[in-house]
A and B are shown apart, each in its own frame.
Chain A
């Protein structure tokens, strides 16, 4: 192997290490600097008694502090309860959801809320709604023949 061959390889290898490393640093800065978090542990729940277990025995939106809300969503084939959530503009809403049967998904259009809803687990994510309007949310995991019927909306009132 001659010298130019080695230099040629190094000229590729070093940027191949540097570029992904730089991208990782950018990810860490945005995740921890801007506080964009992925879901994690939020507790377990028995899906067989979900409808009787707080907070899922009373799904809906409640104000927990000025400008801060908690939306509890009961998920099952093929509906979200509630499927319409109204909050004033500027609200910070924490979504707490769990499934009564199979795996579902939950994605609110135009926000960072994207989580799997897995029976036996509680899912939690928070979003701040700074602009009025209707935000579609859908189930994004196959959950049977009626999967495409599962949707709802967050209505942010100005």
Chain B
């Protein structure tokens, strides 16, 4: 019934995992460099510098691994939740190929050291035009996915008036709609600043304006990565663990809050920027704290669902149910460990969001420790857990090695714990991020004793990653066939019938989201736009 969708989902996942493999290898080199074990002379000219490798690492992991995984996973989830194919199979194919062409265009200068500008590509750093055009096409592809999900929702709605949208499909749609609103910032930056700059149509640019447009998208993009993980935690994990979702209305409320609050927060990445009023920075700090609330709701709801599972499996006592959770199930254990690391990532993220406290950590290794706990652990480990469940479904084969899939998440967990702890501590000691510390002449003695731990954690994660990629590849290609199990979502203790019909309306929420964005960004962007002298020449510095 879903043959085309599932082939496409498989193709998206294949590209995502290939990006994870290459990006992860670059990460190994960086981690080793922190311990003084530099390999960059040996891999020249394939990788021209630490920064060339670091750009590949960032682009492939935070832009490609995430985006392609999300498109594959949420397309799959949507078809199963509605039990109907996507509205347009041509649109599905079109979106996929636009994204693939975009990826290839961007990958070419990325790999040839013509786009060594990091995944943030702050102008006036000037990369090859194919890099910007390619990434823009990837974003356009995601918009086509959004369009298809909207059309599918409307087709389903026409046949089911008055019914609550199936929770998983609702969450998938919120994720893509939120992303589409959020991506407008980077789309404007690309179309009006970076692409004309790289083509030579605009010799000069405005770095602060570009940076502000970038972070308009750059913070909500983390919710674009995170919400698909929440889709799994809410709608799949409770059932996999043998329990029920605690509260469906609370889950929907959390997602609506993410739709409203994800975007008007980007200035918390720019607390230390000149040229932006501290008052507006403070407003974004407030909203960032507000968007912490739906994550707290998620924490409660997911843990309560896990408790339901643990008790259903015979667990008793205040904490005894935890031991009864299916820790031997690769998909579940990966996601449980992801949740544990995410708690710490959330806490360090609050520090980043804390206005003047941010001065202690901004652009230090602390930030690197933080986002490896979030996108590198909460998101990545959850996606890995999802693929242990999804790849067998898509390929009709059983997991190639269940044992390796049970061990791999623990390795990632231990490696990440060591790695991110070391980076957080180095950040508090003011070690800068995005810096080839192995060649820096100013390394402080107190950094030296911590630096080897970065390499230890990185090597453990790399081993875990190799095991993961091999196991998934062999599952997709070589493992013995098994009959496909039906996809079942978690039922809820408090079900969708108890959720307000208001949560299923779109126009009021979209209007509120738009108002929040206009209030939080309108004056800041107008000020920058009206006063821009556009007087900074483009430059290649690598």
A145 near B206: Cβ-Cβ < 8 Å: no
Minimal Cβ-Cβ distance residue in B for A122: B274
Would you call B397 an interface residue if the criterion is a C-beta within 8 Å of the partner chain's C-beta atoms?
no
A107 near B542: Cβ-Cβ < 8 Å: no
Query: CB within 8 Å of B: which of A117-139?
Result: 117-124, 136, 138-139
A38 near B293: Cβ-Cβ < 8 Å: no
List of B residues within 8 angstroms of A103 by Cβ: 122, 124-125, 207, 211
Assembled-state Cα–Cα distance A140/B442 (Å): 13
B442 near A48: Cβ-Cβ < 8 Å: no
List of B residues within 8 angstroms of A21 by Cβ: 289
Assembled-state Cα–Cα distance A138/B443 (Å): 10
Assembled-state Cα–Cα distance A36/B364 (Å): 19
Would you call B192 an interface residue if the criterion is a C-beta within 8 Å of the partner chain's C-beta atoms?
no
B434 near A9: Cβ-Cβ < 8 Å: no
Q: Which listed residue (A1, A5, A48) contacts B535, Cβ 8 A?
A: A48
Q: Which listed residue (A23, A40, A102, A112) contacts B359, Cβ 8 A?
A: A112
List of A residues within 8 angstroms of B542 by Cβ: 144-145
Shortest Cβ distance from residue A135 to the other chain B in the assembled complex, whole angstroms: 10
Minimal Cβ-Cβ distance residue in A for B436: A148
Minimal Cβ-Cβ distance residue in B for A139: B432
A102 near B356: Cβ-Cβ < 8 Å: no
Q: Which listed residue (B247, B274, B433, B435) contacts A115, Cβ 8 A?
A: B274
Residues of A in contact, count (CB < 8 Å): 60
A118 near B211: Cβ-Cβ < 8 Å: yes
The majority secondary structure among interface residues of chain B is mixed
Minimal Cβ-Cβ distance residue in B for A114: B359
B363 near A30: Cβ-Cβ < 8 Å: no
Would you call B536 an interface residue if the criterion is a C-beta within 8 Å of the partner chain's C-beta atoms?
yes
Shortest Cβ distance from residue A60 to the other chain B in the assembled complex, whole angstroms: 20
B364 near A140: Cβ-Cβ < 8 Å: yes
Assembled-state Cα–Cα distance A20/B292 (Å): 8
Would you call B437 an interface residue if the criterion is a C-beta within 8 Å of the partner chain's C-beta atoms?
yes
Assembled-state Cα–Cα distance A121/B539 (Å): 17
A140 near B278: Cβ-Cβ < 8 Å: no
Contact (A27, B208) CB under 8 Å given A47-B536, A147-B435, A148-B440: no
Would you call B350 an interface residue if the criterion is a C-beta within 8 Å of the partner chain's C-beta atoms?
yes
Contact (A118, B300) CB under 8 Å given A48-B535, A101-B124, A136-B430: no
A27 near B356: Cβ-Cβ < 8 Å: yes
Shortest Cβ distance from residue A49 to the other chain B in the assembled complex, whole angstroms: 9
A110 near B432: Cβ-Cβ < 8 Å: no
Assembled-state Cα–Cα distance A113/B286 (Å): 23
B533 near A44: Cβ-Cβ < 8 Å: yes
List the interface of chain A (C-beta within 8 A of B).
1, 5, 8-9, 12-13, 16-17, 20-21, 23-24, 27, 30-31, 36-42, 44, 46-48, 77, 101-103, 105, 107, 109-110, 112-124, 136, 138-145, 147-149, 151
10 extra A-B contacts, CB within 8 A, seeds A102-B539, A102-B541: A5-B494, A12-B300, A41-B274, A101-B539, A105-B432, A112-B356, A114-B358, A121-B274, A124-B274, A144-B541
List the interface of chain B (C-beta within 8 A of A).
49, 51, 54, 118, 122, 124-125, 206-208, 211, 247, 250, 270-278, 281, 285-286, 289-290, 292-293, 296-297, 300, 304, 350, 354-360, 362-364, 429-430, 432-437, 439-442, 444, 493-494, 498, 531, 533, 535-537, 539, 541-542
Q: List 19 A-B contacts (CB under 8 A).
A: A9-B247, A9-B300, A27-B356, A36-B356, A38-B355, A47-B537, A77-B541, A102-B207, A103-B211, A107-B363, A115-B274, A116-B274, A118-B275, A124-B274, A141-B363, A144-B51, A144-B541, A145-B541, A149-B441
